[in-house]
Amino acid sequence: MNKNSKIYIAGHKGLVGSAILKNLISKGYTNLVYRTHAELDLINQKDVEEFFQNEKPEYVILAAAKVGGIIANNTYRADFIYENLAVQNNVIHQCYVHKVRKLLFLGSTCIYPKNSPQPMREDSLLTSPLEYTNEPYAIAKIAGIKMCESYNLQYGTNFISVMPTNLYGPNDNYDLEKSHVLPALIRKIHLAKLLSEGKFEEVLKDLKFKSIDEAKEYLANFGVNKNKVEIWGTGTPRREFMYSEDMADACLFLLENKDFVDLKSYTPVAKAKMGCKDIYNTNDKEIKNTHINIGTGVDISIKELAELIKNIIGFNGQLIFNTLKPDGTMLKLTDPSKLHTLGWKHKVELKKGIEKVYNWYLEKYEK
């Protein structure tokens, strides 16, 4: 890419897309194209066709997706599989039709089996059943990986799939019902702290409620009051988290330096069954698992995470774990060895990242 290459960022307002957009601007890219959902509905095939015909982007970053936490994934199962499949199908196919030089497709490490060996390597894909609660979303993302891979093999396109671990950062979703665990914990614990300090005006401002009694009743639905914050599950599952701006930097590294042909050399030959180490070979008859994990390779239990956030925010109440609620996958740690071998490693450690994003949250909700 050069600095005036025409780059389309799909999903530029979300956690992932906004971090990538910020990174592109910081590195001097000037010909950036993006649309809000109101301006371009990526589910609408005709609208996507017209957009590509009119704009003719050279590079595309597909960060648009319907995402959410365990509650949202399990509740809106049809929405998650339909909307994500539709967006992917439309954008990926138009990238082929209009001869886009390179596509970066962003998925998620939830593509890996529920009981995948830890840490999860790229060749764990499709080796055993998925976690039930996010199965529809995972299947959609797996389809996206296979679509990119298949277009590369059949048509010679240059589509790269990356699978970020759990992300957090500016512009995340802090909805108490639909957000992922880390932003949900930040908001819950922050609001509990405000209640404990009697800062009711700030609670109302955050929630956009008019009555503090109404706000307290609403928060009680999520196990939040001035004395405690309820958290789903036992707190024992372990999760890996990456700061979104680190993820964006990894994406730009791959866009600027790597092509699909570079990734085929990292496809493992299945020799582990014979007790041998994996051998990487470009001459495999089966070219698969060419996607790339983007992660830190470091995890933390949900209980440890909650305690860390509690200490950063300064809440003195209790953290209560509701063991009647599901835990989800117990272990979910990525193996980022392929990315490290390609030449990139993360920089922002978890404590520093949470401090940064909590400051961002305060600035956003104090306006």
pLDDT(279) > 70: no
Helix (H, G, I), strand (E, B) or coil at 9: strand
Q: Whole-angstrom Cα distance, residue 209 to residue 204? A: 5
Tokens of 258: 């790597």
Per the residue annotation, which of 8, 112, 137, 151 is the catalytic one? 137
Helix (H) or strand (E) holding 11: none
Residue 224 has what DSSP assignment?
A: B
C-alpha angle 366-228-303 in degrees, rounded to nearest 5: 95
Q: What is the mean pLDDT of the chain?
A: 92
Q: Selecting from 3.40.718.10, 3.40.50.720, 3.30.460.10, 3.40.228.10, what CATH number does the domain 7-170+241-297+333-348 have?
A: 3.40.50.720
Tokens of 102: 């390179």
* Banded model confidence at residue 282, pLDDT cuts 50, 70, 90: very low
Nearest Cα neighbor of 178 from 243, 134, 216, 146 is 134
Helix (H) or strand (E) holding 299: strand 299-301
Interval 207-243: pLDDT, tens: 999 999 999 999 999 999 999 999 999 999 999 999 9
Task: Specify the pLDDT at position 281.
Answer: 43
**Residues 23, 123, 79, 229: what is their CA dihedral angle, to the nearest 10 degrees?**
-70
Helix (H, G, I), strand (E, B) or coil at 288: coil
State pTM to two decimals.
0.87
Interval 97-150: pLDDT, tens: 999 999 999 999 999 998 999 999 999 999 999 999 899 999 999 999 999 999
C-alpha angle 151-146-14 in degrees, rounded to nearest 5: 100
Can you give the residue ranges of every domain in the chain? Answer: 7-170+241-297+333-348, 181-236+300-331+357-365
Tokens of 81: 């599989």
Tokens of 83: 């909307």
CA pseudo-torsion sign 135, 96, 149, 11? negative
* CATH architecture of the domain with range 181-236+300-331+357-365: Alpha-Beta Complex (3.90)
Least reliable range by pLDDT among 156-160, 268-272, 300-304, 342-346: 268-272
Residue 129 has what DSSP assignment?
A: P
Residue 111 has what DSSP assignment?
A: G
Q: Catalytic residue at 132? A: no
- Alpha-helical runs (H) found in 113-225: 135-155, 181-196, 200-207, 212-220
Are the beta carbons of 170 and 360 closer than 8 angstroms? yes
Backbone angles phi, psi at 159, to 5 degrees: -105, 125
Tokens of 201: 């005006």
Are the beta carbons of 110 and 165 closer than 8 angstroms? no
Average pLDDT estimate for 61-68? 93
User: Cβ neighbours of residue 360 under 8 Å, at least 6 residues apart?
Assistant: 169, 170
